[in-house]
Amino acid sequence: MADQPATQLWVQYQSGGAIVHVRQAPAEPAAPPSGDALVRVGVASVAAGILLGVFGATVMGPVLAIGGFCAVLIGRRQNQQRKALPPAREGDDRAATSPAVRSERGRRVLLNLEQAGPTTFEALLARLHWTEPALLETLVQLKNEGRIDEDLDLDSGQWIYRPMGRQGSSAGSLTLEERQSRMQLEKE
């Protein structure tokens, strides 16, 4: 109980004595005040400081007014900074990922696929310990670049991923188009 803040402790008196209960703290800390809230508090503090100064509190009035003025300035600055930020687009996580990070992720996925062989999304996710959006973004990028192959395993019904072979096809087999072009070359 000694490590609990006093605001989370309360005492219930019963006939036999006191029972102390500990309330659970909220899981997430409270958000900092917004710029608008600071402006409102600052204006109220300035007004209270002026009133106290007029009615005789010669030391407390100006101190409160100066504090309120500072709160107004900080609140306005926060509002200006918030307006200067570009609006966040919903669902556009790719814009926030740098090319260096995407490149390193791609390298790690390819290395993992080369070591483990054909693998499902879930197995890659468990092996790499990444978030689902990060792995999804990486696999889509690698597939679009032609560095991995996405194939449906007909036995399990799951999509598997493997690195592309040197000829541009999946390791171990040729596509129908590649077989057709090879047969045409043999005829000539």
Same-domain status, 103 and 159: yes
pLDDT in tens, 101-110: 899 999 999 9
Question: Does residue 69 form part of some domain?
Answer: yes
Same-domain status, 103 and 160: yes
Q: How many domains does the chain have?
A: 2
For residue 170, name the pLDDT band (cuts at 50, 70, 90). very low
Q: How many CB atoms lie within 10 A of CB 65?
A: 20
Question: Does residue 182 form part of some domain?
Answer: no
Same-domain status, 100 and 145: yes
Determine the pLDDT at residue 168.
40
Domain of 55 in residue numbering reads as 35-84
Instruction: Flag the least confident range among 77-86, 88-97, 128-137, 154-163.
Output: 88-97
Q: What value does the mean pLDDT of the chain take?
A: 74
Same-domain status, 108 and 73: no
Q: Which residues pair with 22 in a beta bridge?
A: 9
Determine the pLDDT at residue 69.
80
In sequence order, the 6+-apart residues with CB closer than 8 A to the CB of 73 are 42
Q: Please give the residue that has the higher pLDDT: either 97 or 20.
A: 97
Determine the pLDDT at residue 108.
93
d(C-alpha 93, C-alpha 106), whole Å: 16
Question: Does residue 184 form part of some domain?
Answer: no
Q: What is the CATH number of the domain that holds 106?
A: 1.10.10.10
Question: Does residue 119 form part of some domain?
Answer: yes
Same-domain status, 77 and 107: no
Taking alpha carbons only, the member of 172, 112, 116 closest to residue 142 is: 112
pLDDT in tens, 7-44: 554 555 555 555 555 555 555 556 666 677 777 777 78
Same-domain status, 73 and 101: no
Q: Is residue 179 pLDDT above 80, yes or no?
A: no
The two tokens of residue 46 are 């300035």
Question: Does residue 177 form part of some domain?
Answer: no
Question: Does residue 75 form part of some domain?
Answer: yes
Same-domain status, 74 and 46: yes
Question: Does residue 180 form part of some domain?
Answer: no
On whether the CB atoms of residues 170 and 162 are closer than 8 A, the answer is yes
pLDDT in tens, 47-84: 777 777 777 767 677 777 788 887 888 888 887 777 77
Q: What are the φ/ψ torsions at residue 59 (nearest 5 degrees)?
A: -95, -45
The amino acid sitting at 14 is: Q
d(C-alpha 95, C-alpha 17), whole Å: 61
For the ranges 79-93, 131-145, 168-182, the maximum mean pLDDT occurs at 131-145
Same-domain status, 99 and 162: yes
